[in-house]
Amino acid sequence: MKRIAVVTAVAGGFDHLHEPKYYDENVDYFAFVDKDVKSDIWQVKQIEYSHFKQPRMTAKIIKILIHKYCDYEYTLWVDGSLLIIRPIVELVNNFLGNADMALFKHRFRDCIYQEHEASLRNTQHAKGEPTSVRKNQIKKYRKEGLPAKWGLYECTFILRRNNGKVRKFNEMWWSEVSVYSSSDQVPFAYTLWRNPDIRIATIRPGHAHESRWAHYIEHGVR
C-alpha cells in the first residue's frame, strides 16, 4: 500500500480541473473526469460511464467511496472548486496523528437541521430532487435522536486514514446519500454520530474556502 493520494473528480461541467499550486513528488494525484483533459500533475482517469441522472453523483461516489478507487495509507479528497497550495505531507503530519479523519468545521453552521433548511433554499444543490426526499431524510434523523447543534463539517476537503473503521464509515455515508439526497454534509454528520469510534481532527486555521491549505475557485471558472 502506497502512502498518500490526492483525489478529485470533475463531471457534468460543474467545475474544471485545476493544477495544484504545490506539487509533492512523494504524493500521487488522481483526477477522475468525464471529458478529455490534460494535466502535468494529475493522473487523469476517464469516467467511462455513469448511471446517475445527476452528474454531481458521478463525482460523489468517488469522493465518498474513495477507498475503492485507490489503495493508499492516507487519502485527501479535494472538490473541483479547491486549489491545493501547501504540502500534503505536512497536512497529514499535523492532523492525522491520533485521528481517523480531518476536516474543516462548517464556516456558517454547526447544526444539521439548519443546514437542511439552507439546502432546501439552494436550487443548485436541490436540482432534480423532490423536497420530500430531504424532508424524509431529516425526519429520520430527528426520530433517531440526532441532537441539534451537534456539529457540522465542510465535506469539500477530507483527509482520511484508510483503515477498517473509515471504510465502514464511507460505506454507511454512501448508503445515506444514495437513498436520500445527493447533498452530503448532513448525512456525513449523521454517519459520524452513528460511529462514535471515528476520531475526527479539525483542520485549522481558517475554513475550506479560506485557509493556508487551499484556495477556493468559483464553480465554472477555468
The model's pLDDT over 149-186, given as tens digits with 9 standing for 90+, comes to: 999 999 999 999 999 999 999 999 999 999 888 889 99
Q: Where are the domains of the chain?
A: 2-216
Percent of the chain past pLDDT 90, that is, above it, reads 64
pTM beyond 0.85: yes
- pLDDT reported for residue 175: 95
pLDDT category at 119 given cuts 50, 70, 90 is: confident
**Confidence (pLDDT) at 154:** 94
What's the pLDDT score for residue 52? 64
Distances (CA, A) of 196 to 137, 142, 166, 188: 20, 18, 12, 13
| Degrees to nearest 5, angle at CA 201 with 85 and 188 | 95
Average pLDDT score over the chain: 89
Residue 151's pLDDT is: 95
Q: How far apart are CA 89 and CA 79, in angstroms?
A: 19
C-alpha span between 222 and 218 (Å, rounded): 9
- On the question of pLDDT at 122 being above 80, the answer is no
Answer whether residue 218 shows pLDDT above 90.
Answer: no
Query: Which amino acid is it at 146?
Result: L
Q: Could you tell me which residues come within 8 angstroms of residue 162 by beta carbon, excluding any fewer than 6 positions away?
A: 1, 67, 71, 72, 73, 74, 75
Locus of grid cell 465554472: 220
Going by pLDDT thresholds of 50, 70 and 90, the confidence category of residue 42 is very high
Q: What is the pLDDT of residue 75?
A: 97
Residue 51 reports pLDDT greater than 80: no
| Residue 170, all three cell numbers | 464511507
Percent of the chain with pLDDT over 70: 89
For residue 46, give the amino acid letter.
Answer: Q
Q: Which residues pair with 33 in a beta bridge?
A: 10, 46
Cβ-in-10-Å burial (0-12, 13-18, 19+) of 97 comes to exposed
Q: Is 160 exposed, middle or buried (0-12, 13-18, 19+ CB in 10 A)?
A: buried
Q: How far apart are CA 92 and CA 75, in angstroms?
A: 9
pLDDT band at 47 (very low <50, low <70, confident <90, very high): confident
**Least confident range of 111-125, 162-176, 180-194:** 111-125
Q: Identify the CATH number of the domain defined by range 2-216.
A: 3.90.550
